[in-house]
Amino acid sequence: MSTKQIIGVFDDEALLLKATQKLKSHGVNIRDIYGPSADHDLIKNLTRESKLPYLSVFTGILTILLTFAFVYYVTVIDYPLHYGGKPVFAFPSLVVVMYLLCILITGAFTTFSFLTSEKMFPGKAPRLVDPRAAIDRFYLVLERNFNPDEITEWLREEGAEEIIEKETEA
Amino acid sequence: MDTRFKPTKKFMLIFAAMILIGLVAVIAGFVSDPARTWPNVLLNNMYFITLSMGALMFYAIQYISGSSWSALIQRIPLAAGAFLPIGFILMLLLYFGLHDIYEWSHPEITETDKLMAHKAPFLNVPFFMIRMVLYFALWVPLFFLLRSMARKEDQIGGEQWYHKSAFYAKVFIFAAVLIFSLASVDWIMTIDAHWYSTMFGFRSMITSMYYGTAIIILLIFLLKRMDFFPQLKEAHRHDLARYLFRFSIVFGYLWFMQFLIIWYANIPESTIYYTPRLHGEWKFFFYAEPIINWAIPFVVVMADDFGRKKPVLIGISALLMIGLWMSLFLQIMPGSYGSLKLGFLEIGIWIGYIGLYLIMVFLCLSGLSIVPKNHPMLDDSIHHHL
């Protein structure tokens, strides 16, 4: 599905921040912000919230159960062995392994889900709004859920350099 | 905005009442059961010295790392260390109760106990007291030096006080980290003189920074309630919460590693420490300690938006205050008094010490301007954002 989007081009981060706050207060959905540097205040203004942290926590909890099951299978079911006067299911002695397994599985799963959700794969053409986004310009991508003339007016008021209307893959 | 804190009459009355409760508890304790009272005095000394040292380490770290976000609140960690001189006097009083706390302080034990005889050149009463005096002889002057520099920065102004404080902060961090590790081994670990853990000192030092951060958070919000710090924003709370979160991880790691290595090796001379705590009447405290001190703060403060809320931070910090008490209770009591007794004596002495600690903190604060007046990074701190 392709939708039309309005893109405001800014060359100043402070102006961009002010513009995002104003547009947000008007109820415009901010789809994305492209720029050469990251800014926490800008990320907070995005309408689309990343679900990745929740997925990460969920996977983490699942992985803890998984590693417990794994250790239980290895030490109790598959190869029960008493050593050092400890019970068979002596998981604290394997806690380092379990800890690293949790990090590995959760980290790998989060990474791959990020890659899938963003449809990234080797050799994919970059989905940049404009090559200048990697150099010195900030791009504010807005959904057209308002009267486009109104949005354009607001953007111009806030000091946008240029306003582009573009069809993009959603 | 009023930049000076004036302790009101109401405050002083509350603190005086707290100290009175503590005095009643101590006197009642000495009359009825001195063997139970002395370990409690040590526990509370250690508790508030831990808080003071932790807060001062926080203060020093801000100077060493050149942090600008904390300039606004820098007077709080400094004042939170004001208990140190009193702690020194109270630790010296412990001289009269050494026999009730430390097994090695009985001279006749060296005749029957070979290990104690071997350790006697280090663990004897005169040397113990000399070491105690030496530790405080390092800390207390450094604390007064840092405080006088902060005061001069307020009164005279100029950048040189910042640079001087930064230099003495570096001196202090060495004195604090190295000597506090040694001191905790001296005062706490030698209670179980047959046992030792090589990470005990490091663990106590990290613990001190952890709870130092918690008491700073509590004091900041107490002062904010009295309309100080109007500039305190979410960004500052975020940084404080990050401190708590980080130290909770380190605490959990060290707590577990000390246990894990001993549990795994299963050598009688090291398991002697954990056997009564893990299987005896201390069981509840043993399991509650990591839950209160690690699990709850870790999970709650981890959530980015939720963990930065004011009531959450206050709640977690207050919980940690109880956690530190439990942690020290578990470290001190089994080796010294031997049986689990929790009553008015324990709680009363603690309350008395809280009153004394807060009086010292607020007296120190009243001599300083709460927001540093001439701190070179103050503006940066007020406009701090993430």
Mean of per-residue pLDDT scores for chain A: 83
Residue numbers in A near B263 (CB within 8 A): 92-93
**Within this chain, do residues A59 and A85 fall inside the same structural domain, yes or no?**
yes
Q: Which residue has the higher pLDDT, B217 or A165?
A: B217
**Within this chain, do residues A57 and A42 fall inside the same structural domain, yes or no?**
no
Q: What percent of chain B lies above the pLDDT cut of 70?
A: 99
Residue in chain B nearest A87 by alpha carbon:
B264
**CA distance readout (Å), B81 to B52, B216, B363:** 4, 10, 12
Which residues make Cβ contacts (< 8 Å) with residue A39, sequence separation at least 6?
A: A13, A17
The answer to whether the Cβ–Cβ distance between B264 and A92 falls below 8 Å is yes
When pLDDT is cut at 50, 70 and 90, the band that residue B274 belongs to is very high
Domain containing residue A7: 2-48+132-169
Q: Is residue B57 part of a domain?
A: yes
Q: Tell how far CA A118 is from the center of its chain.
A: 9
Burial A91-122 (b: 16+ CB within 10 A, else e): eeebbeebeebbeebbeebbeeeeeeeeeeee
**Within this chain, do residues A32 and A67 fall inside the same structural domain, yes or no?**
no
Cα separation, A130 vs A16, whole angstroms: 17
Mutation target among B239, B262, B385, B386 for the A interface, most CBs of A within 10 A: B386
Q: Is B263 on the interface with A (CB under 8 A)?
A: yes
The answer to whether the Cβ–Cβ distance between A92 and B385 falls below 8 Å is no
Number of domains in chain B: 1
When pLDDT is cut at 50, 70 and 90, the band that residue A136 belongs to is confident
Candidates B2, B1, B5; CA nearest to B367 is B5
Q: Is B264 on the interface with A (CB under 8 A)?
A: yes
Q: Which of A157-166, B1-10, B111-120 has the lowest mean pLDDT?
A: B1-10
- How many residue pairs from chains A and B have C-beta atoms closer than 8 A? 16
Q: Is residue B386 part of a domain?
A: no
End-to-end Cα separation, chain A, in angstroms = 6
Q: Is B117 on the interface with A (CB under 8 A)?
A: no
Closest CA of chain B from A92, distance in Å: 7
Q: Is the pLDDT of residue A48 over 50?
A: yes
| Whole-number pLDDT of residue B1 | 46
| Whole-number pLDDT of residue A170 | 46
With tokens 């994305």, the residue in question is A32
Q: Is the pLDDT of residue B367 over 90?
A: no
Check the CA dihedral A78-A81-A87-A90 and report its sign.
Answer: negative
The ipTM (two decimal places) reads: 0.71
| Whole-number pLDDT of residue B158 | 84
Residue A36 sits in a domain whose CATH number is 3.30.70.260
Q: Is residue B382 part of a domain?
A: no
| Whole-number pLDDT of residue A126 | 74
Alpha helices in A27-137 (DSSP H): 40-44, 52-72, 95-117
Task: Write the residue in A53, A84, A95 that is nearest to B266 by C-beta.
Answer: A84
Alpha helices in chain A (DSSP H): 13-26, 40-44, 52-72, 95-117, 148-157
Q: Is residue B200 part of a domain?
A: yes
Task: Write the residue in B263, B266, B386 that is nearest to A40 by C-beta.
Answer: B386
Q: Which of A39-53, A92-106, B344-358 has the lowest mean pLDDT?
A: A39-53
With tokens 């309309």, the residue in question is B227
Q: Is residue B385 part of a domain?
A: no
Q: Is the pLDDT of residue A44 over 80?
A: no
Do residues B298 and B244 touch, judged by C-beta distance below 8 A?
no
Q: Is the pLDDT of residue B245 over 50?
A: yes
Number of domains in chain A: 2
| Residues written for chain B | 386
Mean of per-residue pLDDT scores for chain B: 91
Q: Is residue B1 part of a domain?
A: no
Residue in chain A nearest B262 by alpha carbon:
A93
Q: Is residue B279 part of a domain?
A: yes
Domain containing residue B308: 9-372
Mean pLDDT (whole number) for B200-228: 93
Query: In B, residues 57-86, which contact A (CB 8 Å cutoff)?
Result: none
Q: Which of B152-161, B210-219, B237-246, B286-295 has the lowest mean pLDDT?
A: B152-161
Closest CA of chain A from B261, distance in Å: 9
Residue numbers in B near A85 (CB within 8 A): 266
Amino acid at site B341: K
**Within this chain, do residues A63 and A102 fall inside the same structural domain, yes or no?**
yes
Q: Is residue A124 part of a domain?
A: no
pLDDT digit string (tens) for B42-54? 999 999 999 999 9
Q: Is the pLDDT of residue B380 over 70?
A: yes
Q: Is the pLDDT of residue B165 over 90?
A: yes
**Within this chain, do residues A142 and A107 fall inside the same structural domain, yes or no?**
no
